[in-house]
Structure 1
């Protein structure tokens, strides 16, 4: 009779827990970096919006003899 030793190639529970723990540690290190990237993207978007508004205002005043656009505050009736 031909007998061979058969070894099962299954992961043990401890090995799986170690891998899950390592993934958890890496994720916890990555989350603050993602938060900072989100803040920087919001800052870039806001800066771009302000630049576009100021460019539009400059173009308006250039085309209209250096007059600023008319604004009217509906809540208290002030105008400028």
Structure 2
């Protein structure tokens, strides 16, 4: 598999995790609470592990992705 697909999957995974996680945190200020935020992060991570896990390892951490990219090693 190409490295572009791996990095694109990691980028998309990080984007989705931040979008849904932070979105749920903002929405929980009005209604829900800590449990809603925890479930949102947990379910998004679960979905990402199953979908992009086989492709890129699914660490979904921009610092790890950037470190691997700069070291020249594959994910």
Question: TM-score higher than 0.5 here?
Answer: no
Q: Greater helix share, 1 or 2?
A: 2
Q: Structure 2 length as normaliser, TM-score?
A: 0.40
Q: Structure 1 length as normaliser, TM-score?
A: 0.38
